[in-house]
Homo-oligomer: A and B are copies of this chain.
Amino acid sequence: MSWNSFGRVFRFTTWGESHGLAIGAVVDGCPPGIALSEADIQPWLDKRRPGQSRFTTQRQEPDHVRILSGVFEGRTTGTPISLMIDNVDQRSKDYSEVAQAYRPGHADYAYDAKYGLRDPRGGGRSSARETASRVAAGAVARLIIPQVQIRAWVEAIGGDPIDAQAFDDAQIDANPFFCPDAAAAVRWETLVDRARKAGSSLGAVLTCEATGVPAGWGAPLYAKLDAELAAAAMSINAVKGVEIGAGFAAAANSGEGNADPMRPGAGGPAFLSNHAGGIAGGIATGQPIRLRVAFKPTSSILTPVETISRDGEATTIATKGRHDPCVGIRGVPVVEAMMALVLADQALLHRAQCG
């Protein structure tokens, strides 16, 4: 089945294709009385918007969001909030090549195998353009949980990591890579430029941290907070790996090394470390939630790759259109949005069961 809704009580449904008339999201279950206007949403879309530096795709989309329902006199009414973003820069280019041959690494073949037909224009529904809808919905989610601070950053591009010692929060918004390490940002300019000019692409690793999450949010066993975050992250285009807290490093650690000892603290335990990434048994511990996400290099590259046509004939294909040399960069606001959407849902779920 096509299953385009996410969330349990705070839910959103997205629709739209890369080169259709518009894309959008319907947000349902939002508490009433929250102040909401387009101005609360637009900044997050602007953060994700393409064409802002030479390190992202040159497609020009204003990504102007409109609220079509669910708000009256500036406040949410508790009814569904319909958000719509027109597609402006859908080029009337010729899609016959991509319509006839499958781009390896893209969803072209898989969609065709599933549905027997597909919209080849810019990847159709499988395009990362859909993530704008999530960012819009995520902006609403943030307003439900004002006590939570969410921020993501890029911590490696093409295998070149930041220096954790050089982490500077203020740097994240000061360079086009959402990079907290000023020196790494300089290196990445060269790295991404080289990939871009070569028509190649690079992967990236992102971290997203949420602080201020109260101990107790989460819903064992099959809606565990970490399970929901894993699903949320893995549903983003190009994501191939997810870690909570120490992640794979925990698998190489000992029980002693991986423990997070507790001391008495103000209003709850003071943890001496956070290998758990703020989640135990699927429930928030009150520590910062730490989510780490791996983005693959986009498969849209100039180098011709061996493939087959819809008729099963051998051929090659290269992606000549506009593309992101490192799609993970623009993943930052998307991962943040998914974090907000999961947490808002869990906040309401927790209130439902535990008051």
Contacts and interface: CB of A to CB of B under 8 A. Distances in A.
A110 B2 contact: no
A210 interface: no
A183 interface: no
A56 to B, nearest CB: 15
A167 interface: no
A204 interface: yes
B1 A117 contact: no
A81 B102 CA distance: 24
A52 interface: no
Given A218-B114, A222-B5, A299-B255, A22 B68 contact: yes
Contacts of A300: 255
What copy number does this chain have within its complex? Answer: 4
B114 A78 contact: yes
Interface centre among A3, A223, A277, A349 (most CB of B within 10 A): A3
B261 A307 contact: yes
Given A254-B158, A296-B253, A110 B241 contact: no
Contacts of A234: 224, 226-227, 229-231, 242, 244
Contacts of A69: 15-17, 20-23, 125
Nearest to A301: B255
A252 interface: yes
Contact of A258 (B121, B156, B296): B296
A200 B258 CA distance: 11
B252 A158 contact: yes
A42 interface: no
B114 A20 contact: no
A303 to B, nearest CB: 5
Given A114-B78, A221-B4, A250 B258 contact: no
A38 B339 CA distance: 37
